[in-house]
Amino acid sequence: MLEVHLGEVDISPKELDKRAAAREFPYDSGVWLFKELIHESMPSKCIVSRREGNTKLYSHKRVSEFAGIRELYLKHEGENPTGSFKDRGMTVGVSEAVRLKAKIVCCASTGNTSASLASYAALAGLKAVVFIPSGEIAYGKLAQSIAYGAKVVQIKGNFDDSMRLIQEAAAHLNMYILNSVNPWRIEGQKAITFELMQQMGWDGPDWIALPAGNLGNTSAMGKAFSELKELGFIEKIPRIAAIQSEGANPFYLMWKAGASELVRVKHPDTIASAIKIGNPVSWKKALKAMKISNGVVEQVSDNQILDAKAIIDASGIGCEPASAASLAGVKKLREKGVIKAGQKVVCILTGNILKDPNTTVSYHTNKLDSIKPSYMNPPVEVDGNLDAIMKALKA
Ligand code: F0G
């Protein structure tokens, strides 16, 4: 189960555009729309879909000015049904589990994957087991996984421990694993790239930036682009900028050193809980993606991530902390002169603004250790009378 290879593909961009306009099952999903490029032989009766994908592209003057890029777009994967891009890989992974007649599906997660798995498993009538690092994932994501009915196992350890243990447990207990070690997850995640290219009239940007944790998404993007190029759907492959947090940066360290092996970060630490990962499982495929796209890997601080998030949020678009690493990375690469002001750039916003609300409120009230917020908007507390309210609003 290392990688899926496309066979003959009998579909063209024009036909895909027509199909998008018609919107019939299963092509009303922003993943299954590209079925021939993802899982051609999947029978319709096995497809478990929430019409995922179909996410929008945004641009905003304030975001552009912040990064110093004139033409900058944000693709909002937080608009997926469970609040993150994970739904794209999950619809394919869970459909495959149904096709294989699996009974139990499982994953380890920093939050989003578990919520996504729990939802799709419930839809399909499968049992779901998720391993999460105890006390380290966003509360809303824990709530979502429990509420959708998954068996939630809180591991006393970090995500990397959870990831190692779920692989062992899956083998022992005959559970179908749905982390990105499962190639069908990667196949589904390719749809971000397909949909983006379709939205841009199959003429891509110069750069695409995305937050990098377990590296499944980076891998999927590289694979998607090399297939589109091979099929003749596109002429040039955009450069991928994979952005890590400084405290959880094994891929960055490896790339910067030009090394051929990844050295894990033993104690990953970042406020962006989704990408708090020291031993990413998909680093080999992600390295391939960097080579295919002439990509770069950059790292950003928690402070830079939260300032970028504040700008995305205040522009009315909003995202979770990890997602903002993409914009923080683009700003840094612009300042270094790697990305030019006149180049066309897309940032992938991987998750919803409602994740990690404590972090957001603490940022705006300046209650985070070692973070100096540049764009605070603290709420005010007043006595319950009109005088006090007038005074507060005039100030
Ligand atoms: N952004 C968000 C919001 C994520 O949830 C993740 C990963 C990433 C970025 C990084 O993507 O792992 O493909 O490099 N979340 C996983 C999870 C690990 O369990 O939800 P990646």
pLDDT tens per residue, range 80-133: 999 999 999 999 999 999 999 999 999 999 999 999 999 999 999 999 999 999
The pLDDT of residue 21: 81
Residue 358 has pLDDT above 70, yes or no: yes
Tell me if 219 CB under 6 Å of ligand 1. no
The pLDDT score that the predictor gives to residue 395 is 83
7-16, 104-113, 315-324, 349-358 — which is least confidently predicted? Answer: 7-16
Q: Is the CB of 275 under 6 A from ligand 1?
A: yes
Give the model confidence (pLDDT) of 221-275 as tens digits: 999 999 999 999 999 999 999 999 999 999 999 999 999 999 999 999 999 999 9
Q: What pLDDT score was predicted for residue 182? A: 97
CA of 125 to the centre of ligand 1 (A): 25
Query: Does ligand 1 have an atom closer than 6 angstroms to the CB of 243?
Result: no
pLDDT at 8 over 80: yes
- 352 CB near ligand 1 (under 6 Å): no
Please choose from 77, 106, 110, 352 the residue to mutate so as to test ligand 1's pocket, defined by most ligand atoms within 8 A of CB: 110
State percent of the chain over pLDDT 70. Answer: 100
Å from CA of 215 to ligand 1 middle: 8
Q: What pLDDT shows up at residue 29? A: 97
pLDDT at 5 exceeding the cut of 90: no
Mutate to test the pocket of ligand 1, among 179, 215, 350, 359 (most ligand atoms within 8 A of CB): 350
**Most ligand 1 atoms within 8 A of CB, residue of 119, 187, 214, 326 to mutate:** 214
Beta strand pairing status for 344-349 and 71-76? parallel
- Nearest residue (CA) to ligand 1, atom 15: 274
| Ligand 1: nearest atom to the Cα of 113 | 20
Is residue 55 lining ligand 1, measured as CB closer than 6 Å? Answer: no
Nearest CA to ligand 1 atom 5: 274
The answer to whether the beta carbons of residues 334 and 69 sit under 8 Å apart is yes
Model confidence at 2: pLDDT above 90: no
> Is the distance from the beta carbon of residue 329 to the nearest atom of ligand 1 less than 6 Å?
no
Give yes or no for residue 376 having a pLDDT over 70.
yes
Q: How far is the CA of 280 from the centre of ligand 1 (A)?
A: 10
> Residue 1 has what pLDDT?
62
Contacts 24+ apart (CB under 8 A), 376-382: 376/310, 377/310, 377/314
Out of 79, 80, 84, give the residue to mutate to test ligand 1, the one with the largest number of ligand atoms within 8 Å of its CB: 84
In a 10 Å sphere around its CB, with 0-12 CB exposed, 13-18 middle and 19+ buried, how is residue 63 labelled? buried
Ligand 1 contact via 373 beta carbon (within 6 Å): no
Q: Which residues contact 328 (CB under 8 A, 6 or more apart)?
A: 243, 300, 304, 305, 307, 308
From the alpha carbon of 220, which atom of ligand 1 is closest? 13
Ligand 1 centroid to Cα of residue 113, in Å, is: 7
Distance from Cα 26 to the centre of ligand 1, integer Å: 26
Share the mean pLDDT of the chain.
97
Q: Which residues lie below 8 Å from residue 135, measured CB to CB, with a gap of 6+?
A: 154
Residue 18, amino acid = K
CB of 322 within 6 A of ligand 1: the answer is yes
Protein residue with least CA distance to atom 19, ligand 1 = 109
Q: Is the CB of 250 under 6 A from ligand 1?
A: no
User: Once rounded to an integer, what is the mean pLDDT over residues 322-343?
Assistant: 98
What the chain holds in terms of domains, given with CATH numbers, is 57-82+184-364 (3.40.50.1100)
Atom of ligand 1 nearest to the CA of 107: 19
- 383: pLDDT confidence band, cut at 50, 70 and 90? very high
pTM, 2 dp:
0.96
70 contacts: CB under 8 Å, gap ≥ 6: 64, 341, 342
Binning pLDDT at 50, 70 and 90, where does residue 4 land? confident
Q: Give the model's pLDDT for residue 3.
A: 82
Residue 203 CB contacts under 8 Å (≥ 6 apart), including other chains: 197, 234
pLDDT at 67: 98
Checking if the pLDDT of 184 tops 70, the result is yes
215 lines ligand 1 (CB under 6 A): yes
